[in-house]
Amino acid sequence: MKTNFNDAFDLLDYARKSGRLPLLLSQLRKDYERANIPFPLKQEQAGDGETGEVLQSLRESLYVLLMEHFDQYLNLMYAADVPEREFKAVQVTDVVEVASQVTFILLSREWKKIEFRNR
């Protein structure tokens, strides 16, 4: 079981290849719903969509939350149980880069939940 990933694409690609992408996206959907935010992926993307498409949709969703609905962004981080120190440690450059970093942090947290359940 791999736990160290270089970036969000690497994590999603590994999840897809290992057959656990649906589990990862299901967990992500639960946390979006818990935060009362519409899940950004369509059903066909969540099934076995291309890794790049899934990543782009998640990144765009987080970008919009950061720019227009910061309180919902914080609710999502809380619902996903992302440690505050992790998202506070994001390197602030531009919002697109921040959204990319937060996407990786969120996916990493969701992956840890799935790995924990599988053990």
Asked whether 31 and 70 are in contact (CB, 8 A), the reply is: no
Q: What proportion of the chain, given as a percentage, has pLDDT over 70?
A: 92
Angle at 75 between CA 12 and CA 64, to 5 degrees: 65
State pLDDT tens for residues 66-83.
Answer: 999 999 999 999 999 999
- The pLDDT, as a whole number, for residue 10 is 93
- The pLDDT, as a whole number, for residue 43 is 60
State pLDDT tens for residues 85-102.
Answer: 987 888 888 889 999 999
- The pLDDT, as a whole number, for residue 53 is 87
Rounded to an integer, the average pLDDT of 8-27 is 92
- Which of these, 70, 80, 69, lies nearest to 104 by C-alpha position? 80
Q: Pick the residue with more confidence: 32 or 49? A: 32
Residue 68 exposed, middle or buried by CB count within 10 Å (0-12, 13-18, 19+): exposed
Per-residue pLDDT band for 46 (boundaries 50, 70, 90) equals low
